[in-house]
Amino acid sequence: MKIFLLRRLLAAVPLLIVVTFLASAMLTLSPGSFLDEARMQPNISPEFIARMERVYHLNSNNIFERYWYWLWPALHGDLGNSYASQAPVSSLIGERVVNTLLLTGSALIFSWLLAIPFGVFAAVYRNRWADKLSGFISYFGLSIPSVFFSLLAILFAAKTGLFPVGGIHDQANWDDMNSGQRFADTLWHLVLPTVVLGTIGMAQYMRQMRSEMIETLSQDFIRTARAKGLSWRRVVFRHALGNAINPLVTLFGFSLATLLSGALLTEFVFAWPGLGTLIYDSLIKKDEPMVMAAVAMLTLMLVVGNLLADILLAIIDPRIRLE
């Protein structure tokens, strides 16, 4: 187990290096830089721009040199300061992480809590109305683009007034609320984006759950279990589900990786103050230290998510051993 963990973490190092190098190379080679906006402002002098280019090392177009300027301090634990705010990138990411986790976490719980029972029921009542309904929901979730779904939700909120038009809090009155009101207010703001994100995730997991379940239910050991007199309920939930869930655990690992990255468009439309909006803004502005830190972090999340999935799998399936 220890060796397995060590090996996997060591394998993550070259992955991180390759991914960050590619990101840095693309930032270097794509046209434009953080200073473009300043360049187009009539009251900022070329001398100032030139000085900032030197300070940020933007005057070099050598991808290796530019990568080194990022890598060397990063190896010493310094991810740099954001160009835009001059504050350490880690602190800027830290400010946002909680908000994103709140949204993606609740969406994850929403989608898994609904996907597994729906998938199981769809498989058990195959080709009946329950299956058709869940099929409709999952096709809806799979085919609707998240931006469009988000916009529909916003429109719904604006027209009915039942939900807030984006945001995470009631910003104007937040200061005057007590903690109970703050909790309720956050929850109220959370409903629509959670439904949007959750439905999209749920669709995928539910299809997977359904097909795994159908396959398992048609196997011999299920018939045997039924034949020896076990109740249907016990067969489905204990014997069939336990066997059908393995691939979903792997999927769950991947979905952990999307916890920090998966909500960019939804965050944008809902004006949710999370990492997605921060990363998007940094990319648009070419705030390189921010983008690099985000890329490194998201890669790391993917590695860790996969690792967690493997460990989970070993725990629930005794046939799997981690070597």
Radius of gyration of the chain (CA): 24
Distance of CA 127 to the CA centre of its chain: 33
Query: Residue 106: what residue type?
Result: S
Beta carbon nearer to another protein, 212 or 287: 287
Binder among 166, 193, 201, 289 for another protein (CB under 8 A): 166
- Residue 81: φ, ψ to 5°: -105, 145
Site for another protein contains 36 (CB under 8 A)? yes
Backbone angles phi, psi at 162, to 5 degrees: -75, -30
Q: Does 41 bind another protein (CB under 8 A)?
A: yes
Burial class (CB in 10 A: 0-12, 13-18, 19+), 192: buried
Binding mask 176-195 toward another protein (x if CB under 8 A, else -) reads xx--xx--xx-xx--x----
Distance, in Å, from the CA atom of 53 to the CA atom of 33, rounded to the nearest integer, reads: 9
Residue 80 touching another protein (CB under 8 A): no
Length of the chain: 323
Residue 43, interface with another protein (CB under 8 A)? yes
> What's the token pair of residue 9?
């973490």
Binding residue for another protein, selected from 51, 223, 234, 238, defined by CB under 8 A:
51
Binding flag, residue 61, another protein (CB under 8 A):
no
Q: How many CB atoms lie within 10 A of CB 98?
A: 13
Q: Are 151 and 144 in contact (CB under 8 A)?
A: no
Phi-psi region of 317 (alpha: psi -120 to 50; beta: other; left: phi over 0): beta
170 makes contact with another protein (CB under 8 A): yes
Nearest Cα to 141, choosing from 192, 210, 202, 190? 202
**Binding residues for another protein restricted to 92-111, rule: CB under 8 A:** 92, 95-96, 99
Check residue 25 for interaction with another protein (CB under 8 A): no
Nearer to another protein by Cβ, of 34 and 67: the residue is 34
What's the min distance (Å) between Cβ of 25 and another protein?
Answer: 17
Stretch that binds another protein, among 119-127, 128-136, 156-164, 236-244 (CB under 8 A): 156-164
Q: Which is nearer to another protein, 244 or 259 (CB)?
A: 259
Angle at 221 between CA 220 and CA 226, to 5 degrees: 100
How many residues line the site for another protein (CB under 8 A)? 67
**Among residues 80, 119, 193, 274, the one that binds another protein under rule CB under 8 A:** 274
Question: Is residue 42 involved in binding another protein (CB under 8 A)?
Answer: yes
The answer to the question of residue 78 lying near another protein (CB under 8 A) is no
CA distance 37 to 253: 40
Residue closer to another protein, measured from CB, 11 or 162: 162
- Residue 160 as a binder of another protein (CB under 8 A): the answer is no
Q: Is 119 in the site for another protein (CB under 8 A)?
A: no
Tokens for 12? 């993550």
Strand partners, 88: 81
Residues 6+ apart with CB under 8 A from 10: none
Site residues, another protein (CB under 8 A): 30-33, 36-48, 51-52, 54-55, 81-82, 84-88, 91-92, 95-96, 99, 154, 158, 161-162, 165-177, 180-181, 184-185, 187-188, 191, 268-269, 271-274, 277-278, 281, 286
